């Protein structure tokens, strides 16, 4: 049984159906939208739309070689537009929250759009989640996306030219590489917001997934989900995933951070040294399927979200094949800079100036853990 009393759904023997490209073709803001498929020789397949650069399907094998869809998503552009705006999206110009929807840079104050009460979330009212990216597919394994954030868009200074690349490697990795340049000092914080369920997107809650996060501290938040500025050690708390732990083991403990978010929704301060490049941030095992996902990143932080806002509501949570995504049916591991960094000078800087290039890389590596058991001895 899972931690919330629901029976764990068995892995399906029915192969997942590919998303239909024609259901994603259309126009948003007068710009063409399409669905793109990238894959490797082993059969790992990723499908993404250039509307919001959203990843809508990830097909990877389990311990028996059966392919499953481990990304929550939608069947069509219309469904995605009625759904969670962040699901599968590439987030910009600034991932996570900015307090009061404002910040100061070089002595000038900037007022951003408010889209979460008085605060600014995930790039604002019309951030990258709602924008059509230019897309090209140079080969069967690669999708390249581009978007220009205009000077003043959502209140941010500077024209920001951004590039995102999705690549499926022969090592069953989804590699996400991104960069940006600006013509005026600004702030930048990108991330990927895929909702994962390694049992399969139809697999129910994710509480039995075993998670390891390579971080000794978090940046705790207040009741508005904004960082207090503190760096708090996780040792001895429900936030300690330095050793493998089921996501559901402590998720309902009487901890203020858990109660106000209805679960996990917090930034981890990754264990890394100055000058390090790509480092392992997290590892997740789903015992029934044996699927293992490792997360690597160049970023200093990792937002862990346990899908607390999925409620099975229609049409918002009506996913692929009409199934409803309920509470904690998916989790997100979002490498990024710390939330509200422009208002916390002690946090790693997110300032980008003309002549500089902002770059980052996220790798989701999929494999199988042969030591995991599904309880059947298989």
* Residue numbers annotated as active site: 193, 334
Kind and range of the H or E run holding 55: strand 54-61
* CA–CA gap between residue 52 and residue 322 (Å, rounded): 22
Specify whether the CB–CB gap between 340 and 221 falls below 8 A.
no
CA 347, chain centre distance (Å): 21
Residues whose CB falls within 8 Å of the CB of residue 261, separated by 6 or more in sequence, listed in order? 221, 225, 308
What strands, in cross-sheet order, belong to the sheet with 160-168?
A: 134-139, 142-149, 160-168, 173-182, 358-368, 291-297, 279-285, 210-213, 245-246
For the CA atoms of the chain, what is the radius of gyration?
20
Bridge partner residues of 267 (DSSP): 219, 303
Length of the chain measured in residues:
378
300, two tokens = 């200093």
CA 47, chain centre distance (Å): 15
| Locus of tokens 């902002």 | 358
Q: Helices in 149-304 by DSSP H: which ranges?
A: 256-261
CA-to-CA separations, 329 to 83, 242, 257, in angstroms, rounded: 15, 23, 20
* CA–CA gap between residue 18 and residue 347 (Å, rounded): 42
């Amino acid at each position: 049984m899972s931690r919330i009393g629901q029976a764990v759904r068995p892995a399906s023997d029915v192969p997942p159906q590919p998303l239909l490209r024609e259901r994603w073709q259309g126009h948003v803001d007068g710009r063409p939208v399409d669905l793109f498929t990238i894959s490797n020789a082993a059969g790992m397949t990723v499908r993404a739309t250039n509307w919001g650069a959203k990843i809508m399907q990830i097909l990877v094998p389990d311990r028996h070689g059966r392919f499953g869809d481990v990304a929550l998503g939608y069947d069509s552009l219309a469904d995605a537009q009625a759904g969670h705006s962040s699901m599968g999206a590439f987030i910009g110009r600034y991932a996570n929250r900015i307090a009061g929807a404002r910040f100061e840079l070089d002595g000038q104050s900037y007022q951003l759009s408010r889209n979460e009460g008085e605060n600014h979330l995930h790039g604002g009212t019309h951030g990258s989640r709602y924008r059509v990216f230019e897309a090209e597919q140079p080969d069967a394994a690669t999708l390249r996306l581009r978007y220009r954030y205009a000077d003043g868009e959502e209140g941010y200074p500077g024209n920001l030219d951004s590039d995102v690349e999705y690549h499926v490697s022969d090592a069953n990795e989804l590699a996400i590489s991104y960069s940006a340049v600006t013509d005026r000092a600004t702030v930048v914080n990108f991330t990927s917001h895929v909702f994962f369920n390694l049992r399969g997107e139809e697999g129910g809650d994710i509480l039995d997934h075993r998670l390891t996060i390579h971080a000794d501290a978090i940046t705790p938040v207040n009741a508005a989900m904004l960082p207090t500025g503190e760096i708090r050690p996780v040792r001895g708390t429900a936030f300690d995933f330095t050793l493998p732990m089921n996501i559901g083991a402590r998720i309902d403990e009487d901890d203020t951070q858990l109660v106000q978010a209805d679960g996990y929704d917090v930034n981890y301060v990754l264990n890394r040294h100055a000058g390090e490049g790509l480092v392992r941030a997290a590892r997740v095992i789903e015992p029934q399927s044996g699927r293992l996902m490792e997360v690597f990143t160049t970023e200093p932080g990792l937002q862990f979200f346990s899908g607390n806002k999925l409620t099975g509501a229609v049409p918002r949570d009506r996913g692929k094949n009409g199934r409803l995504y309920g509470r904690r049916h998916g989790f997100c591991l979002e490498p990024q800079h710390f939330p509200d960094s422009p208002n916390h000078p002690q946090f790693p800087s997110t300032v980008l100036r003309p002549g500089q290039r902002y770059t980052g890389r996220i790798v989701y590596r999929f494999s199988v853990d042969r030591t995991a058991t599904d309880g059947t001895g298989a």
